[in-house]
Chains A and B, each alone.
Chain A
Amino acid sequence: MNERVYRSLYRIRRVEEEIARIYPSDKIKSPVHLSIGQEAVSVGVCEALRPEDVVFGTYRSHAFYLAKGGDLKKMMAELYGKATGCAKGKGGSMHLVDTAHGVMGASAVVGTTIANAIGYAYALKLQRKDSLVVSFFGDGATDEGVFHESLNFAALKSLPVVFICENNFYAIHTSLMYRHKSTDICALARAHGITAERVEDGDVLAIHEHVTRAAKALRDGSSGPFFFECLTYRLMEHVGSNEDFHLGYRTRQEAEPWIRNDQVKRFASMIDGERRRRIEAEVEAEIQAAVAFAEESPFPEGEELFTDVVEG
């Protein structure tokens, strides 16, 4: 378990560090919203899922895409705008998709995919399937009306969906405290009749345990939905490949407990040196292969402009 978790955490961290390294070269002409610091949520959740379960996410899409099993080569090619990308270069970083691995897409408009997730869950229930849906969103989404509408419907119909609020305290640069009178996000879920719990320390294993229990309950026929607020911290700027503590909306001091609590480092220390080095070497080789694949792949042909608008 620890090795699986470490591999996934390390892989996401290193993929994004590599993206940040390449980004200034302008080879990636797609706004990237990095999850560095937030990987634990995607990994903790997705390690509790089955391949046939599906996830819906946000424009900060790299972590959940990779954690759910999304194809790394296709992701990297997508960031490069290449024809071999997961969306043929037509989606970009904010719209990663891999339906074969249950990654059902991501929206740049905050809160949007929460509604898509509940619709998918409704269909699963109607189709008598025992798979489930995870809806990832940030604290910013809880400002949106669609969040409340979606929670109400999911609760009303007892849908097999797990809501994961990744609370990194900021919607771009605006603190939750400036946006809500009450900052208790779980209370919003409970007001809709949904069981809600907060995971405060960003512990991958705690998140994993919560979601595993919720998933088992849903598969055993318990009524959904479940709601987890996972506190976490974005170490990079909202969009782009740099830090942004100089902007003044937050301080490095605020980040320090989260840096000390970095789950990538924590799990690295839990794994025997030889095994850890092997995992890291394998991940590095995979990343280099993905970057090479993206670099070498062709851009889409001109006629691709007009395909996929409607069928045929």
Chain B
Amino acid sequence: MERVLSYIDAIREATDQEMQRDLSVVVFGLDVDDPKAIQGTTRGLMEKYGRERVFGTPLSEDAMTGAAVGMALAGLRPIHIHIRMDFLMLAMNQLVNVAAKSRYMYGGQVRIPIVVRSMIGKSWGQGAQHSQGLYSFFMHVPGLKVVAPATPYDAKGCLIHAIRDNDPVMYIEHRILHFQKGPVPESSYTMSPGKARVTVKGRDVTLVGISYMHSECLRACRYLESIGIQAEVIDPIWLSPLDIDTIAASVHKTGRLCIVDNGWTTCGASAEIAALVTERLQGVKDVRVRRMGFAPVTCPPTPLLEDLYYPNGRTIASAAHDLVTGTHNGWLPDERLDLQEIEFRGPF
């Protein structure tokens, strides 16, 4: 029987296995060693590997990111953890000007193998500064890799790869995904950069769901089934490098693309995917494209407005319906309670 783990435990196990295998792996960040242990993702590591390899830090995102770069220069493989992605704004100089550029601007003399884990929040009033999905900032910059795993299986495989990767990797988690459970092999395995996964096969429309929005795309897929539309769902997993081959091949088949981002659409991951698919397929296939993402406003904490702020399975299904039928008749499925706990369980 296959073993089931939560996303949180998958991250913890990946970290534990790599720390066991490689003495150069160190873990730090605000509260990594406190009783809550970053939602449990670092639980027990300090006790097992000691306070030198697992340590909480002062509230100094800028300097601690710079310190991660310095540790990497000295041969360590640091994992720096932030409980919200919003805090990375304090670390941009070190990430963009130093980590991303050192290999290039030093002519290949150095490498910066750091992993920066951060989390996107959602619901329960996370509000303006606990909810942002800002990974497109990092996709913009050459020299950074960006991954946003959506399942426990990928969470483990991508983290192990990220730790072993010799370049900086931005590892983006989503607070809601932390609670997902799914099959995770106990043995070590890696997920290579630049490989997306088709999670549902379909012929009518391609839904690309990033991070948590992959779960909403799975919901949309079920709503669309009920009216006879077969959606193909793709989880890009890695945002940089991006597996545009898999996405373009799907769109070549369906002719319709709806990209659902876990961030704003302007200059975002959805814009990049739409542009790349268009460049690839123009003159080859007539394609209709729709982008969805956060409403172009600051995230409100109050529940009614917050619901309107995010795409969800029903609004995605509605958009996909319009793409497929070429109509705008306002079709919106009634909410189905049986789709509340939807998770992708494989096969992988």
Contact = CB atoms under 8 A, between A and B. Distances in A.
Judge: A and B partners, yes or no: yes
A119 B98 contact: no
B104 A90 contact: yes
A133 to B, nearest CB: 8
B145 A99 contact: no
A126 B106 contact: no
B147 to A, nearest CB: 13
A120 B73 contact: yes
A217 to B, nearest CB: 21
Interface string A80-91: 000001111111
A210 to B, nearest CB: 23
A97 interface: yes
Question: What is the predominant secondary structure among interface residues of chain A facing chain B?
Answer: helix
Contacts of B145: 310
Interface in B87-130: 93-94, 97-98, 102-111
A89 B105 CA distance: 8
Interface stretch (B62-70, B217-225, B317-325): B62-70
Interface string A115-139: 1111111111111000000000000
A248 interface: no
A109 B53 contact: no
A115 B70 contact: yes
A96 to B, nearest CB: 9
Category for how many chain A residues contact B = 35 or more
A87 B102 CA distance: 10
A115 B94 contact: yes
Contact of B58 (A98, A105, A115, A156): A156
Contacts of B66: 112-116, 118-119, 146, 150
B106 A95 contact: yes
A127 B73 CA distance: 13
A306 to B, nearest CB: 10
B140 to A, nearest CB: 14
A308 B100 CA distance: 11
A309 B101 CA distance: 8
A115 B67 contact: yes
Given A87-B109, A117-B70, A119-B71, A146 B76 contact: no
Nearest to B110: A99
Nearest to B143: A309
A85 B105 CA distance: 11
A153 B58 contact: yes
Contacts of B278: none
Contacts of B97: 107, 109, 112
B64 A153 contact: yes
Contacts of A118: 63, 66-67, 70
B57 interface: yes
A308 B107 contact: yes
Interface string A130-158: 00000000000000011001101100100
A149 B60 contact: yes
B142 interface: yes
A122 B73 contact: no
Contacts of A99: 106, 109-110
A29 to B, nearest CB: 16
A146 B63 contact: yes
B109 A97 contact: yes
Interface in B164-212: 165-167
Interface bin, chain B: 35 or more
A86 B93 CA distance: 24
Given A90-B105, A150-B63, A112 B98 contact: yes
A281 to B, nearest CB: 32
Interface in A243-257: none
B52 interface: yes
B123 to A, nearest CB: 32
B75 interface: yes
A2 B302 CA distance: 72
A86 B67 contact: no
A127 B167 contact: no
Contacts of B165: 311
B259 interface: no
Nearest to B52: A126
Contacts of A124: 74
Contacts of A87: 105-107, 109
Contacts of A120: 70-71, 73-74
B53 A126 contact: yes
B239 interface: no
A104 interface: yes
B242 interface: no
A152 to B, nearest CB: 6
A70 to B, nearest CB: 12
A25 interface: no
A308 B73 contact: no
B75 A123 contact: yes
10 contacts: A90-B104, A90-B107, A112-B94, A115-B63, A118-B67, A119-B74, A122-B70, A145-B62, A150-B63, A156-B58
Question: What 5 pairs across the A-B complex have the smallest Cβ distances?
Answer: A115-B66, A119-B70, A119-B67, A149-B63, A123-B74
Given A86-B107, A115-B70, A127-B75, 16 more contacts: A104-B73, A112-B93, A112-B97, A118-B63, A119-B68, A120-B70, A121-B70, A126-B52, A126-B76, A146-B66, A149-B60, A150-B60, A152-B58, A153-B60, A153-B64, A310-B167
